[in-house]
Structure 1
Amino acid sequence: MNILLNITYDTSFGEELVLNLITGREEGSIVTTPYRMHTNDGHVWKCDLNLGLETGTHIDYYYTVVRGETTVVRSEWVVEPHRLELTSMRGGPFVVYDHWLGIPSDSYLYSSAFTDCIRRRRMSPAPLVNYPVTARVKVRAPQLKGRERLVLVGSDLSLGAWNVADGVTMYEHNYNEWVADIDVTRLAGRTFEFKFVAVDVHDPGDLLWEDGMNRRIDLPEMKENQVVVYELDEAFFPIYDVRCAGTQVPVFSLRSRTSFGVGDFGDLKKMVDWISKTQQCVLQLLPINDTTTTHTWTDSYPYSCISIFALHPQYVDLNALPPIEDEAERQRFEALRQELNALPRIDYERVNNAKTEYLQILYGQEGKKVLASAEFKRFFDEAGIWLVPYAQYCYLREKYGTADFSRWPDHNHFDESERKALSGQRNVAFKNVAFYYYVQFILNTQMSEVHDYARAKGVILKGDIPIGVSRYGCDVWQEPRYFNLNGQAGAPPDDFSVNGQNWGFPTYNWDEMLKDGCRWWVRRFSNMAKFFDAYRIDHVLGFFRIWEIPVNAVHGLLGQFSPALGMTREEIEAYGLHFQEELFTEPFITDWVLDRMFGERADMVRQTYLEPTHDGRYRMKEEYNTQRKVEAAFADKTDQDDLNLRDGLYALISDVLFVRDHKDANKFHPRISVQFDFIYESLYDSDKYLFNKIYNDYYYRRNNQFWYREAMNKLPKIVEATRMLVCAEDLGMVPDCVSWVMNELKILSLELQSMPKDPHVRFGVLARNPYRSVCTISSHDTPTLRQWWDEDWTRTQDFFNNVLQKYGAAPHPLPGWLARDIISRHLLCPSMLCILTIQDWMSIDEGLRLADADAERINVPSNPHHYWRYRMHVNIEDLIEGHDFNQNITDLVKESGRM
């Protein structure tokens, strides 16, 4: 099969074009065969292919611009590459005229959220043709609704003579891309004009013509059997942008009449029914990965996963499994289920212990049959790369009584040579871990069924990708080269926490990850695509730079951005600030500081925890000179006075003006939020002015281009790994380069009116939300709408009078009618997605919502040991039957023009 590919592209000196023929996928990454292209004028590039392909097959490919042998300067959008179908029964040759395909501004319409959930059209390859000479027209039309089809109508009689009923039927051979083959011998001439028309298959008289001037093609002289393919610019139809409404709720928070004290995948199907019933189309979840390290309530933190692939056993729907054969055991578990399900909040430990015991009994009863099934073997073949290490990790965690693999007497990291023994069903090693295989098979099967069910209902399941993983999890154990264990990931101070957040996760070794094209991330996202059609990137700022905290620190104040361009002494002094290394980098402890901080306990602090140095200054004693040492010293203290003393010692240790770079001892970073500390207070006003200039340049200007390049080395590979709709949590200390990258990659931003990104306003202006964004009122990390309303009455009054434009005193607590008004305004905003927490939806119904608004809070970010146990107080079955509440939501969605 002879194929001549042409593309017009103006390169710079030293650049060339390469055609990348896609030959398959390995672990989520595209496998290609590259072909160097040639040009005679530096403008039109050509590539001759002679491939042993059969009629009826197709090829997919994309172009890259390279400099030298391997340096890729620019690449096309690989989510939807070029496709050439070899449908001519005469065998060609094919001459193709392509154009460069970058990420389109409407790339979201190519996501599975739209193609597989909202529009759900079936693709159909172009049929075989036997024309003597063929002209093929390809065009992308992503705006079409699910019931619409494309027709080519032209001036020539064979093209319908502008009569749509006689036009040329087009076939959607790839997502949103339509193709039609034209018999050139039937054309009156070599030039023809045409347009594309969208036809409603349910009402063929409902036509929508493409906007703009007629299209025109001038055919070249063509040889017999030749096929000339024209890839045209996207069709444009005056169709309004789709705007969707949705609900956010963690799976663990779901409650049904049949659940076992915690939400499960069976409840998730019921929640999909409620979403569909109320005319919404998005259901957003928190992470559903396994987090089991201690088997205590501290494992309830869903963002500390032990495996980026394994699902949490607590989410198994026991009702979908065969019953336990033993009648007494069955009755015992049913009584326990009813007891746990009646609790107002989750009892994490009892629920998980009970479900694990139940699964172990069922494994003894059904395991052998399940593991012998074709379905399990197929799952094992697909998931083995992560499943085998995960199962062995779980087995060793239980055997040695700790998830800290550094304390295991052996197997301190996964040994790839043991994979074979762990995979053979006759081996003892396999039998040791088979239970974990069984559980993950069930979980994956059930979640896949939920995904299929949601798609059939037209509901987009939106997942959540945690930015970190557990320090003692399977991912670190299996592939430690990808992680830095000498630091902790967190976040700088923000509205959630004045001391910053310390998540305890290891940071990523991006140098190592980039060596293999971020394969770890690509596999992670590819696995997520089995269950979701959209996802939220937790803390997208981490792909630009992560807030890295020393392992000996508890709070986040002593962290620094990594990577970041640290400052030398000379650079600091170039601003005019005399750099006094000891004064600026060691804790600033003096008598007046101690008196201010500890009052009457200052002398005790001096004698117990400090030792004098010089010039009236002190330093921490060796046994207390890090926050971790202080934490250990106060580990058994519960009295509030003791805890206040501990926190004061933490503050002493973090009171420095500059933090030394973690990798280069001769470079420094201004300490975050130091303007609130004593070292800053001690400076002359002139030095404060100079330090603030350094501080602002460092945090808001110095690293922008550097961080932009860092993100563009990582995010494109990850974003283009799947067709899921990409959304990002981009709140916090956001440098300018974040919006550059998100706009370039067409990632949806997160917009909260209570946390505006414009520093000049107190509350965000909803009408200014970009279309490519997710609008919400609260999240799992923030107070609910009702809590926020009563949190700061002065702020609420300002919002009531100046944003809602209402007179008089703001009512407290928040009445349902006013909550409905606030929600209505959010639904009316331009954002593509408006996703509200289930608590905020319920706030509109005073008879349905909880009396205690504080009982609806999911997480308090300032508390690193928060117990994640919020559970809906209403059964989903009752929610579905609640006519008035559901009608209220349906009316709100319809009135806003959302779906």
Structure 2
Amino acid sequence: SQTRKLLAWENGDNRVMNIIPEHKSSALVVGGMRFINSRPAWRGAGVAIPVFSVRSDDDFGVGDFFDLKKMVDWAVVTGQKFLQILPINDTTMTHTWTDSYPYNANSTFALHPMFMRLSELGRLNDENRQKYYDDLAVELNALPTVDYERVNNAKNEFMREIFRQEGAKTLELPEFKAFVEANAYWLTPYAAFCVLRDMNGTPEFGKWGEYAVYDKAKVSKFVDEHADDINFVYYVQYHLDRQMRAVHEYAGKHGVAFKGDIPIGISRDSADAWTSPRLLNMASPAGAPPDDFSVLGQNWGLPTYNWEEMNKDGFAWWKARFRKMAEYFDAYRIDHVLGFFRIWQIPMDAIHGLLGIFNPALPYTPDELRHNYDFWLDVDLQTTPFIMDYFLYDFFGEYTDEAKRRFLIDVGYGRYKLRPEFDTQRKIANYFATEEKCEKNDKLCNALLGLVDEVLFIEDPYEKGKYHPRISAQFTYIYRSLTDYERWCFNRLYNDFYYHRHNDFWYGKAMWKLPPLIDSTSMLTCAEDLGMIPDCVPAVMNALQMLSLEIQRMPKDPKAEFGNTWTYPYLSVCTTSTHDMGGIRQWWEENRDVTQHFYNNMLHEQGPAPHYAEPWICDKIVTLNLQSPSMLAIFPLQDWLSIDGNLRRNDPREELINIPANPRHYWRYRMHMTVEELLDAQLYNDYVRSKIKSVGR
């Protein structure tokens, strides 16, 4: 047919989504989601919300898997085809709120017990105990946010009680035995990890004595000796698996696809790290360079991957991870896809991401810097903290004299160096962790951390005598001390290093890793490709037909203030916000100059911009994204609700899910209304449905 257009044909089986478009001419089932088989090309809309954030009448103070059924119902009512969630793996480490970070899983296979719908496990025979949990559920569910510790401790307590009552029957079920057998490769080590974690009071397996180093035979004996505790973990995972499969099947029958999230990293205190340390570089924490989310960069504390070792068995660990995820999802988002090209690696003794380097990379030799860029590297001066008397007040303010006495050594000519006990950011942080928490100590600590960042180059940890220009070095005092010509030379080598030098090198690294992983499942591949994007990234994504992520306030073109929704590529997911940023309304109030430019130049409105993002403004922004050519337009629930003045939350700051600059952020956001109330909002739902239909989604 002349109406058909083939963009690309991929290897492997066709990818078929459980989506039934209203017009058969738009179906995307030939060659899967990477093949446009008719005009107009199929486009869909969707909603994004973490499972823990969903609120329903049946919850226990936190969203659970069965809540997703009601979110599917809402998607159907409003004409949406995708439901996107955050990672759902178990993150239990300390049984405290610090476990709320969903990107620090203790297993890349196990599901989080927090998402269990308790009522599906049965009721306790002890009526008083059952009433206690029923009453507690009502109390916790009325809270405005998730009380992570009370919720998880209570759910775990109930599950242990119901396991003692019903567990023996479950353990005899053929379905249970089949689940354990099929998942034994990860389930048994994970169960042993959980029991040992609780027995030792820490997830740091290096402190587990004879079990510090994983030994399969020894662990097998441990499992036999602690059968009851091990079976409890099996029981929980069995029911979580059943519940997630049930809601996924429910979604498919209703024409809604589930989109999951694959984090780039895993925890150094995880069952995976315990059982397969050879696959990881435990002494090399991963993070991200500075961006709009964090000017100091991000230090995730997660180990980097030993890709050469992973390649020896054909990336079996990654493939198993993808295939497990395919049991619950139709599509997935690769978190920080740049990590497959290169990872931002930070020294163990650093806190700030500013002191990181790309790995793998092609660092400079001093001779290359001199011959190719006419830059003469002074190793002593430019690779150690540059600390001069004339700018110390900028760091320490009124505490400058005290800081000199306590933390610095005068080496003459107005120059200082840090005392040995304070010469790394880790030493500084550890010292102030034992000091009184007050404004003065916070200022001293942050100032000292900032002084350690004052370097122009970082020596490569693997190839001594080779150097990386420090990221964002143009904001340092050592850079300002250069002559105009030296700055020009440095900028030239800097731009070459970060934007040109590695393109072919990183292209090859990504094409070595990604194809076998993507081809291991039939899921649709979407990528979070934000941050410093070298030219090789879109080249690889185009070659592999991966969907990019488009956000209007974070344009891919560095020369543009905002993205142009009309020019988004078809193979993309466009969104108004992500879980790492404030929603439309919060963003609108952050910077009046930016808001004014957006109001006049993107919304094409005249005059001064309203101080608040009124519903009609949010509606217009949502509509711009819906009208884009992007295959998928998936918005956070908060932004969907922002278009209705009666339904949206009063204070948009209460809608924030994460603050990337804060590594100890408490992830606890919940909807301010129940899904049942949302389903009853007929006028609003009809409006959303008509809006989606009117733009051809």
TM-score range, shorter chain: over 0.9
Tell me the residue number matched to 1:357. 157
- Among residues 177, 201, 205, which one is paired with 1:377 in the alignment? 177
Q: Return the letter of the residue paired with 1:606.
A: K
Further displaced range: 611-620 or 624-633: 611-620
Question: 1:110: how far off?
Answer: 7.0
- Among residues 289, 292, 300, which one is paired with 2:92 in the alignment? 292
Given the alignment of the two structures, is residue 573 of structure 1 paired with residue 370 of structure 2, yes or no? yes
Higher relative contact order (CA 8 A, sep 6+): 2
Structure 2 runs not aligned, ≥5 long: 1-5
- CA change 1:107–1:240 in 2 (3 A) is farther
Give the Cα separation in 2 of the matches to 1:509 and 1:109: 27
Question: 1:573: how far off?
Answer: 1.2
Given the alignment of the two structures, is residue 244 of structure 1 paired with residue 146 of structure 2, yes or no? no
Question: 1:421: how far off?
Answer: 4.3
What SS class does the counterpart of residue 359 from structure 1 fall into? Answer: helix
Given the alignment of the two structures, is residue 658 of structure 1 paired with residue 457 of structure 2, yes or no? yes
- Among residues 508, 513, 521, which one is paired with 1:714 in the alignment? 513
CA contact (8 A) 2:14 2:31 kept: no
What SS class does the counterpart of residue 693 from structure 1 fall into? Answer: helix
Tell me the residue number matched to 2:567. 768
- Among residues 152, 155, 168, which one is paired with 1:368 in the alignment? 168
Question: 1:865: how far off?
Answer: 0.8
Higher-Rg structure is: 1
Q: Return the letter of the residue paired with 2:431.
A: A
Give the Cα separation in 2 of the matches to 1:508 and 1:395: 26
Q: State the Cα deviation string for residues 137-172 of structure 1 (Å, max 9, x = none).
A: xxxxx97738xxxxxxxxxxxxxxxxxxxxxxxxxx
Q: State the Cα deviation string for residues 480-527 of structure 1 (Å, max 9, x = none).
A: 001101111000000111100011101111111111111110000000
Tell me the residue number matched to 1:336. 136
Given the alignment of the two structures, is residue 830 of structure 1 paired with residue 624 of structure 2, yes or no? no
What SS class does the counterpart of residue 138 from structure 2 fall into? Answer: helix
Given the alignment of the two structures, is residue 880 of structure 1 paired with residue 672 of structure 2, yes or no? no
- Among residues 255, 276, 289, which one is paired with 2:76 in the alignment? 276
- CA change 1:109–1:335 in 2 (3 A) is farther
Tell me the residue number matched to 1:676. 475
Q: Return the letter of the residue paired with 2:472.
A: S
Given the alignment of the two structures, is residue 118 of structure 1 paired with residue 20 of structure 2, yes or no? yes
Q: Return the letter of the residue paired with 1:890.
A: R
Q: State the Cα deviation string for residues 844-890 of structure 1 (Å, max 9, x = none).
A: 11111110110001111111111100000111111111101111211
Given the alignment of the two structures, is residue 145 of structure 1 paired with residue 48 of structure 2, yes or no? no
CA contact (8 A) 1:587 1:654 kept: yes
Tell me the residue number matched to 2:582. 783
Tell me the residue number matched to 2:301. 504
Tell me the residue number matched to 2:396. 598
Give the Cα separation in 2 of the matches to 1:663 and 1:441: 44
Give the Cα separation in 2 of the matches to 1:612 and 1:663: 32
What SS class does the counterpart of residue 735 from structure 1 fall into? Answer: coil
CA contact (8 A) 1:250 1:286 kept: yes
Tell me the residue number matched to 2:533. 734
Q: Return the letter of the residue paired with 1:835.
A: I
The structure with more helix, counted as a fraction of residues: 2
- Among residues 508, 511, 532, which one is paired with 2:329 in the alignment? 532
Question: 1:812: how far off?
Answer: 2.3
Structure 2 matches for 1:285-324, cutoff 5 A? 285-324=85-124
Question: 1:109: how far off?
Answer: 12
Give the Cα separation in 2 of the matches to 1:621 and 1:407: 31
Q: Return the letter of the residue paired with 1:256.
A: S
TM-score, with length taken from structure 1 = 0.75
What is the number of residues matched between the two proteins? 689
What SS class does the counterpart of residue 847 from structure 1 fall into? Answer: coil
Give the Cα separation in 2 of the matches to 1:828 and 1:176: 25
Question: 1:668: how far off?
Answer: 0.5
Give the Cα separation in 2 of the matches to 1:366 and 1:413: 35
Give the Cα separation in 2 of the matches to 1:454 and 1:805: 39
Tell me the residue number matched to 2:411. 613
CA contact (8 A) 1:422 1:433 kept: no
CA contact (8 A) 2:30 2:37 kept: no
Question: 1:616: how far off?
Answer: 3.3
TM-score, with length taken from structure 2 = 0.96
Give the Cα separation in 2 of the matches to 1:237 and 1:598: 63
Further displaced range: 406-415 or 744-753: 406-415
Give the Cα separation in 2 of the matches to 1:622 and 1:312: 43
Further displaced range: 570-579 or 825-834: 570-579
Question: 1:428: how far off?
Answer: 2.5
Question: 1:470: how far off?
Answer: 0.9
Give the Cα separation in 2 of the matches to 1:618 and 1:485: 33
Q: Return the letter of the residue paired with 2:235.
A: Y
What SS class does the counterpart of residue 541 from structure 1 fall into? Answer: helix
What SS class does the counterpart of residue 209 from structure 2 fall into? Answer: coil
Tell me the residue number matched to 1:256. 56
Tell me the residue number matched to 2:3. none
Given the alignment of the two structures, is residue 105 of structure 1 paired with residue 8 of structure 2, yes or no? yes
Give the Cα separation in 2 of the matches to 1:649 and 1:602: 11
What SS class does the counterpart of residue 118 from structure 1 fall into? Answer: coil
Give the Cα separation in 2 of the matches to 1:322 and 1:253: 24
Given the alignment of the two structures, is residue 649 of structure 1 paired with residue 448 of structure 2, yes or no? yes
Give the Cα separation in 2 of the matches to 1:367 and 1:268: 26
Question: 1:617: how far off?
Answer: 2.1
Give the Cα separation in 1 of the matches to 2:192 and 2:443: 43
Q: State the Cα deviation string for residues 224-265 of structure 1 (Å, max 9, x = none).
A: xxxxxxxxxx99964321100000000000000010000001
Give the Cα separation in 1 of the matches to 2:353 and 2:282: 16
Given the alignment of the two structures, is residue 412 of structure 1 paired with residue 212 of structure 2, yes or no? yes
Give the Cα separation in 1 of the matches to 2:672 and 2:551: 26
Tell me the residue number matched to 1:386. 186
- CA change 1:106–1:812 in 2 (3 A) is farther
- Among residues 463, 466, 472, which one is paired with 2:263 in the alignment? 466
Tell me the residue number matched to 1:327. 127
What SS class does the counterpart of residue 775 from structure 1 fall into? Answer: strand
Question: 1:274: how far off?
Answer: 0.8
Tell me the residue number matched to 2:497. 698
Question: 1:377: how far off?
Answer: 0.7
- Among residues 664, 667, 674, which one is paired with 1:865 in the alignment? 664
- Among residues 354, 358, 364, which one is paired with 1:557 in the alignment? 354
Please provide the CA RMSD for this pair: 2.1
The structure with more strand, counted as a fraction of residues: 1
Tell me the residue number matched to 1:220. none
Give the Cα separation in 2 of the matches to 1:315 and 1:109: 34
- CA change 1:237–1:688 in 2 (3 A) is closer
CA contact (8 A) 2:140 2:147 kept: yes
Question: 1:357: how far off?
Answer: 0.2
Structure 1 runs not aligned, ≥5 long: 1-102, 121-141, 147-174, 179-233
CA contact (8 A) 2:390 2:414 kept: no
Give the Cα separation in 1 of the matches to 2:418 and 2:25: 65
Give the Cα separation in 2 of the matches to 1:761 and 1:278: 33
What SS class does the counterpart of residue 283 from structure 2 fall into? Answer: strand
What SS class does the counterpart of residue 304 from structure 2 fall into? Answer: strand
Tell me the residue number matched to 1:77. none
Question: 1:802: how far off?
Answer: 1.1
CA contact (8 A) 2:549 2:572 kept: yes
Give the Cα separation in 2 of the matches to 1:740 and 1:859: 30
Question: 1:419: how far off?
Answer: 5.8
Question: 1:276: how far off?
Answer: 1.0
CA contact (8 A) 2:615 2:643 kept: yes
CA contact (8 A) 2:366 2:376 kept: no
Given the alignment of the two structures, is residue 481 of structure 1 paired with residue 278 of structure 2, yes or no? yes
CA contact (8 A) 1:553 1:627 kept: yes
Q: Return the letter of the residue paired with 1:397.
A: R
Give the Cα separation in 2 of the matches to 1:115 and 1:408: 45
CA contact (8 A) 1:476 1:483 kept: yes
